[in-house]
Structure 1
Amino acid sequence: MSTHLDAELLAHLQTWQGRSETWEDLLTPAPLRALSATLDREDALPVAGTELPPLWHWLFFLPHHRQSDIGPDGHAKRGGFLPPVPLPRRMWAGGRLQWHAPLKVGDTVNRVSTIESVTHKAGRTGDLVFVLVKHQLHNAHGLCLTEEHDIVYRPAAQPSDPVPAPVAAEKHATWQRDITPDDVLLFRYSALTFNGHRIHYDRKYVTDVEGYPGLIVHGPLIATLLLDLVRRHTDLPVRSFEFKALRPTFECADQRILRVCGEPDAQGSTIRLWAQDHEGWLTMQATAELGKPF
């Protein structure tokens, strides 16, 4: 399949702008128990009324595509709600979230999702397409969460592709934690989020087809680990969070370490967060704003 995007094709993809869909889900306790175990936490068992930790809403509103609708990369075939971008590599590049009220176990929640924009950029390795999706989550009391989700589509890797220079992560952080993102952790998170994307569990596929050196750690998992670090150091709730993936983090079957780091400001209300790989390269950066309990 050609990865060249001409003006006519881009205009077609941009007809998806403004499309929306609404899903309803019931926030049940079982996924929370499972993610708590996956993150190696000793949380109290969630019951009706337990507040969802920040980003744990990603355990809900999961796509349930039929097996016959799954594409070769493990994602649903292109088209439908998201535009059919003809570029083979799809990544969650970052996002911005604002909490307005708590989400709780037992809530029935509606999520309204809208394609805000479809944009094109010429990158070092060819065409890039960025899709911005806005989600708004409402329970019976009103709006609880607004989220902007950045998706990037990239061409297949080529041996001649230039390799961007990595950025060294800061060496010192007030808060830090080391995690081994082995294939079991990646599989459990994929299962919890019903994520069939083969780059996270199929080493032969990710190396032979997509050209990466090993399994890729989920961007949302790294973001969740960053806010989990915040929760391990303060009880103040997160009011807003933004994150950007800068470089893939690889499992590579050799017990590599992922380090998550946090640096609170003098007031303890703004936390700079970042993740680094086993070589000390910066892979994700983020900022969390904390506030008083709702």
Structure 2
Amino acid sequence: MLELNIKNETSRLRAVVLGTAKSNGPTPKIEDCYDPKSIQHVLAGTYPKEEDMILETEAVVAVFKKYGVDVYRPEVITNCNQIFSRDIAFVIEDKIIRANILPNREEEVEAIRPIWNKIKKENRIILPEACHVEGGDVMPWNDYIFIGTYSGEDYPDLITARTNMNAVKAIQELFPNKTVKAFELRKSNTDPKENALHLDCCFQPIGNDKAIIHENGFLVESDYEWLINFFGKDNVFEITKEEMSNMNSNIFSISENVIISERSFTRLNKWLRQKGFTVEEVPYAEIGKQGGLLRCTTMPLIRD
């Protein structure tokens, strides 16, 4: 059996699910895209190729092996995009919570069934149907659970709105000892620079007390200010619209000191090194064309 343990985003990683780019399927039609970034690249003829994305995920596997992390992969489904394993489930403490994702992505959930079955039955949580949530919006941070959400009346019209207030309430009930803090995110079906698809697309805690943030990703100014006060201005790296669109906040922590980052994030990577982090740079820009990056493709199962 797998003994799950996730209390935050940065403790030493021991086991993780990494998405797969194998049999990723053809370039999607515009109407089948889930986010504005993918649409942009379909229209431009620059949508990523399967072989390039396989090479990128293998570069991450190599980093995990270097640090002795157990890596699980989803079962390959023919012609199915299974790169973003964070979308389909997430772990808080010793529980795995299945995401109620877009209905046409149900297949992806089946592909992690062998992993799901290794977890004690009482620790496998399926939320009620009215609770919409994806793992990119959920961040355990010690005594807190940070959750990105959207409560506007146009929620049903926004394919980019993935987590609702019903899910926020359900997660609070599951973890009564935690403080659940919800943040309203800015959404756009058409402009990737005005769209925070998930909370990890505009914010992520790193180390013990630092964070990467993009102010405009938050719909409510006070939400952004709360985070600045929580971490302290000197501990926060602020990214631009362009950097948010290129997923600079969507890196991934192997430990409090080691971060996997995209090699083109020169400004961020320099700052991280100045702050004492070890930065493992990988090529991940092709995967980034689908509106997600390193955190989106990883689902941590066990951290120390």
Measured against the shorter chain, the TM-score band is under 0.3
Which structure exhibits the higher relative contact order, with contacts defined as CA atoms closer than 8 Å and separated by 6 or more residues? Answer: 2
The structure richer in helix per residue is 2
TM superposition score normalised by structure 1? 0.27
Higher relative strand content: 1
Structure having the higher Rg: 1
State the TM-score, normalized to the length of structure 2: 0.26
